[in-house]
Amino acid sequence: MELTAKIYVAGHRGLVGSAILRGLQAKGYTNLVYRTSSELDLRKFDEVEAFFTQEKIDYVFMAAAKVGGIVANNEYPADFIRDNLLIQTNVIDAAYKTGVTKLLFLGSTCIYPKLAPQPLKEEYLLTGELEATNEPYAIAKIAGIKMCQSYNRQYGTRYISVMPTNLYGPNDNFDLEKSHVLPALMRKIYEAKINLTPHVEIWGSGTPLREFLHADDLADACLFLMDEYESNDIINVGVGEDISIKALAELIKNVIGYDGDLVFNTSKPDGTPRKLVDVTKITNLGWKAKIQLEDGIRSAYQWFLDNHVVVTK
């Protein structure tokens, strides 16, 4: 991408979009375009098409999505499949109709089968049943991948699909009903410390294994792939190692300095038993994650302390 290219970051206020925006600014890109959801409703095609036609965008980072953890996915399945299908369909089609040079679509590793072999290779897509708790979201993301691939095949577009593992970092969602496991644990343990609560209840057994990638590392990977990757095949982005939910909770507990107990409620769902992505493909291209988990958690906790009055009210 030329430094003067007009680049649209969809979802610029979210965890991923804000990291991509920071990454672009740090590298000297100045012609950046973004809109809040109140300024541009990506679920409405007329608005999206008018925006793309007016702005004459060169590159798109498609980081806008309706996202959430197990609780939100369980309670609002219709919202997750409808909103994500609308958002990505409108952006991908408007990008094609207005001649965007290249688009990067961000999926999720929840697209892989629940019981797929570990680590998750890109070719495991659509080889088995999905995890039931986030199936509507996963199906929407799979549809986005297939839409990008189909536009490439039929129209000769340059749309790439990137599958990040579990993410965390600045601008994460700390709403306990909508957040993912790491920010949810951070908020619950922080509040237990502040309120002198003797224990923190955590859903599930604590045994599932998860991989965590800092959003700034993902942003770095996205900028790298926009320049270096042209394949119609999806590509994973992760760190290549995982940690149990129990060990993660203990790590967060130590960073926060909480002295109470962690109690695991085994009557609640665990979700997928393990989710580690195979990063061979992106590693072979020359990219590797840089931020260590404990360092990333410390910086994310500092951001939470600086901003939690806003994000938790």
- Residues 103-115 have a mean pLDDT of 94
Catalytic residue among 8, 29, 112, 137: 137
Coil, strand or helix at 94: helix
- Residues 96-125 have a mean pLDDT of 96
Alpha carbon distance 169, 148 (integer Å):
28
- Residues 205-218 have a mean pLDDT of 96
User: What is the side-by-side order of every strand in the sheet holding 7-10?
Assistant: 32-33, 7-10, 59-62, 102-106, 159-164, 235-237
Q: Taking a C-beta distance cutoff of 8 angstroms, is the pair 45, 93 a contact? A: yes
Say if residue 22 carries a ligand binding annotation: no
The model's confidence at residue 179, banded by pLDDT at 50, 70 and 90, is confident
- Residues 222-244 have a mean pLDDT of 97
Q: Letter for the amino acid at 278?
A: D
Say if residue 287 carries a ligand binding annotation: no
Say if residue 11 carries a ligand binding annotation: yes
Say if residue 283 carries a ligand binding annotation: no
* pLDDT at 210 (0 to 100): 94
Say if residue 14 carries a ligand binding annotation: yes
* pLDDT at 133 (0 to 100): 84
* pLDDT at 128 (0 to 100): 96
Q: Is 159 a catalytic residue?
A: no
| Helices then strands, each counted (H, E), the chain | 10, 13
Say if residue 17 carries a ligand binding annotation: yes
* pLDDT at 88 (0 to 100): 97
Q: Taking a C-beta distance cutoff of 8 angstroms, is the pair 119, 278 a contact? A: yes
* pLDDT at 310 (0 to 100): 44
Give me the chain's average pLDDT, please.
94
Domains of the chain: 7-171+211-241+275-292 (3.40.50.720)
Concatenating the DSSP letter of every residue in 146-165 gives HHHHHHHHHH---EEEEEE-
Which residues partner with 265 through β-bridges? 203
Listed in order, strand segments (DSSP E) in the chain are 7-10, 32-33, 59-62, 102-106, 159-164, 166-168, 199-203, 209-210, 212-214, 235-237, 243-244, 261-265, 274-275
Alpha carbon distance 129, 225 (integer Å):
29
- Residues 57-80 have a mean pLDDT of 87
Say if residue 166 carries a ligand binding annotation: yes
Q: Letter for the amino acid at 103?
A: L
Give the residue with greater pLDDT, 268 vs 44: 44
Distance of CA 295 to the CA centre of its chain: 19
Lowest mean pLDDT among 165-174, 199-208, 268-277, 300-309: 268-277
Q: Is the pLDDT of residue 73 over 90?
A: no
Q: Letter for the amino acid at 253?
A: K
Q: How many residues does the chain have?
A: 313
Q: Is the pLDDT of residue 309 over 60?
A: no
* pLDDT at 312 (0 to 100): 42
- Residues 208-223 have a mean pLDDT of 97
Q: Which two three-digit tokens encode residue 291? A: 């931020």
- pTM of structure: 0.92
